[in-house]
Every structure is written in structure tokens, then in C-alpha cells.
Amino acid sequence: MKNCCMSDLTSLPIKAYSKPKFMTSETLQLAKALIARRSLTPDDAGCQDILIERLTKLGFKIERMRFGSVDNFWARRGTSGPVIAFAGHTDVVPTGPVEDWFSPPFEPTIRDNHLYGRGAADMKTSIAAFITASEAFIKQYPDHQGSIALLITSDEEGVAVDGTVRVVEALQARGEKIDFCIVGEPTSNKKVGDMIKNGRRGSLSGTLTVKGVQGHIAYPHLIKNPIHMAAPATAELAATVWDDGNEYFPPTSWQISNINGGTGATNVVPGTVEILFNFRFSTASTEQGLKDKVHAILDKYGFEYDLDWELSGKPYLTEKGSLVAAISNAIERSYGITPELSTSGGTSDGRFIADICPQVIEFGPLNATIHKLNECVGVSDIEPLKMTYQRTLENLLRK
């Protein structure tokens, strides 16, 4: 059947009409129920209650983990290994101007064979597919080997301090580990299934304050211009080759994001200049190694400075192995294409999970509309997504 809207369907003769497959999809219906919840980060808005109710019926042991104002839960079915976990978030970013949406962002709407709503792609459809894939797999293999788990947070789109990282710390404290993890981030680029994220770069930021002597611009012998002092050092930092990357990662990148100095007057040299910079770094470098190199370059120039560091994410990498093979096979069977491995993009909660799981990958819908007005997923892509997750379970846990 070609793509059509509801008004087109209602014009068909009664006897000739049958609901398209996507209209009766359990995954679609669950995705719509989640999108209808106004779960602006860090508010879960009851999404996790919906998930927990269904998981409880499947025999999952549920642990609600609330940290601060953030709702999280860890669910597990089984007590033996291997443990394969699905990880995701129920929180979404703000909608932007509601009047600019095709339809209200928290009223899931099907239009032109797409499901519209905030969180449709990032990442409520993936979470719905986690659930329905688990239901289908358990129905077929009730005595499967190993364990299935879900790690769900409502603090991924925000500051991300009371979400996945805290759940991972709790699991780590009691020695509980995960063997395989699939994060449902929207990783697909041009077609659903064309890309798997098998790692992410780390993010290391610095706030550099170079100290000089403020004064009148007409008396250069009485001033020390911190902007001039910092310039050759920042030029060297920008030209430095930090590493060459590796098979999976591009070379580490150092970038200035902000420079702030001056009083606003044209005849006053400032006393300080503040420079914000960021490393996006691969597994070819380490946090401490990058810090040491930066300090060595700055110290060469002999000026006084302060430098505050913030590590917001460590790099992680899953090389080709059991999990990559299992989900690649599932994608090929579900979408008919061979996925590419990629480590591009920003950080994700995979960086936390990698502390207790040696194989972490991310796979989900198209990323073309995430965080945008009129966020959507193709309805015809939803069931193959569920089948991809289900077939991955079969490849790893089927007896």
C-alpha cells in the first residue's frame, strides 16, 4: 500500500479496507504512549511506569533508582550470564515554538507515513522497540540463556549527573557487570540501519585565564597585555598534533570555543583574558597525557595563568566482536543493508556504561530530525527496529 493519510483510508469501501500493518504495531502504539508524556528533562512524566508495568509481566526484577530529582530504573530477567542490556532515556529536550510544529509535539501524530512528536527519534521509539523485542523474544524463548536487562534514565538530555552514571556506580559497587549493551541512540544517517556507533570520543574542556597588568593603552611600558601574551601559546596549541587517531577514531581535535577579555573601552588593556577550549579525543590519547602537553606548552611562554579542567566524557571503543557481529547480522536481516561502524558525533551515556561493560554499541533511528521542530521517525522503519533488537537477542541468548 502506498503512503496515505487517515482521510484517504476512510474513503475506501468497507469491504476493501484493512488496517495497514503499521497501524496495529505494538511498537508503534507503545511509542505513541511514551511520546504523549511531556517528559522534559529531567521529568520522566510517568514514562517509566508504563515500561515497568510491561516488564514486570515478563518476569523482570525491577529496581527503581531515584537520585536527586531524577528517576531511573534497572530491570533484569535472569541471574546468569551473559547479560545483554538495553539502555536509553525517557527525557526529551524542550520543543521550541509549539506553533511551528505540524501538530502539537506531545500529541503523537502520523502524517505521510511518519510518526511526529518530541522524542520520536530521540529516543522513545527505540525504548518502545526494546520492550516489544523483549516481549517477542521471551514468548518464543522463555527459557533463554543468560539475562536481559534494561537501564533507563530521565537525565540524559540535561546535566546527566543523577542518571545513568549513578546507576552504573550502584551496579559497580555491588560487582554487577554487563556483557553486552545496546544504547538506543538515533545513529542512522541516511537510511535506518546504515550506521552503528561502536565508540565515542571523549570530551575534555579547559578554562584558561592568562594574567597580565591592566593599564592605559598609551603607556605600553606600564602594562602587560594578556591577549598578546596568550596569542603565541594558543597558536602553538592549535597547530599541535595530539595524536594520529586509529582505525576507529580520527585524530584528537583541540578547539577554542570562547575568548573573553577587555573592559569595552578602546584605550584600556585588560588585566586578564579568559579562553575556553575543548578536546574531543580518541582512545589514542589519555586525559592526563593531554593535560600534561597543554601545561608544557603554556609553561614555555613564561606568563602567569590559571587553568581549570573539566572531563565530561571519557572515550570508549568496542572493536569488532560478538556484539558488533550480532547486531550487524540483525540489521542486515531486518533492513537489508550492511551497517557502517562509526565513532562520530558527541558524547552519549555509553561513556558511563563502558565502565562496567566491555562491549557497548549504539543503534537506533535516523538522526535527521533530533532536537528539531517536527521530530519524527518513519513508521515503516519501526517494526524493523524492533526486529533488529529481537534478532540481536536471538543471536546472543537463544539456546
The residue written with cell numbers 550487524 in the block is 328
From 156, 157, 349, 394, the catalytic residue: 156
Instruction: Indicate if 91 belongs to the active site.
Output: yes
Q: How far is CA 227 from CA 230, 259, 270, 273, in A?
A: 5, 9, 8, 6
Decide: residue 264, CB within 10 A, 0-12 exposed, 13-18 middle, 19+ buried.
exposed
From 43, 44, 71, 91, the catalytic residue: 91
pTM for the model: 0.86
- How is residue 215 written as a grid cell? 593599564
How confident is the model at residue 11, as a pLDDT?
32
Count of beta carbons in the 10 Å neighbourhood of residue 332: 15
How confident is the model at residue 24, as a pLDDT?
67
How confident is the model at residue 8, as a pLDDT?
35
Report the C-alpha gap between 164 and 353 in whole angstroms. 8
Quote the crossing angle between the two packed helices 382-397 and 125-140, to the nearest 10°. 50
Residue-level pLDDT, tens digit, the chain, 399 residues: 333 333 332 332 333 323 345 556 999 999 999 999 999 999 999 999 999 999 999 999 999 999 999 999 999 999 999 999 999 999 999 999 999 999 999 999 999 999 999 999 999 999 999 999 999 999 999 999 999 999 999 999 988 899 999 999 999 999 999 999 999 999 999 999 999 999 999 999 999 999 999 999 999 999 999 999 999 999 999 999 999 999 999 999 999 999 999 999 999 999 999 999 999 999 999 999 999 999 999 999 999 999 999 998 899 999 999 999 999 999 999 999 999 999 988 888 999 999 999 999 999 999 999 999 999 999 999 999 999 999 999 999 987
Instruction: Indicate if 355 belongs to the active site.
Output: no
